[in-house]
Amino acid sequence: MSQVKQIDIKCLKPECSNWFPSPIAFGNTTSFETATMSGNTAQCPYCGSMTPCNKENMRLRTVDSSSGFVGDDT
């Protein structure tokens, strides 16, 4: 179990596709791995559109860099 350093969301609007910090936080990788996320959205600070906020368009970095996660839509 590693401590989470940073979680980013990728805007899924094709014209944007920028990364921004996730409004959803997790303390460790175990809580992230066991979380069920569906129906969450976040507003992209670059284009202003609402984009899904789920594991498929997230990337996670840990404090010790021993593990991480990159979703399928990234």
Regarding beta strands 4-10 and 19-21, do their DSSP bridges make them parallel or antiparallel, or are they unpaired?
antiparallel
d(CA 20, CA 30): 22
Which of the four pLDDT bands, split at 50, 70 and 90, describes residue 10?
very high
* CB-count exposure of residue 39 (10 Å: 0-12, 13-18, 19+): exposed
Q: pTM for this structure?
A: 0.82
Q: Is the dihedral of CA 71, 35, 37, 27 positive or negative?
A: negative
CB atoms < 10 A from the CB of 7, how many?
19
Q: In terms of pLDDT, which residue wins out, 39 or 46?
A: 46
Question: Is the pLDDT confidence value at 67 over 70?
Answer: no
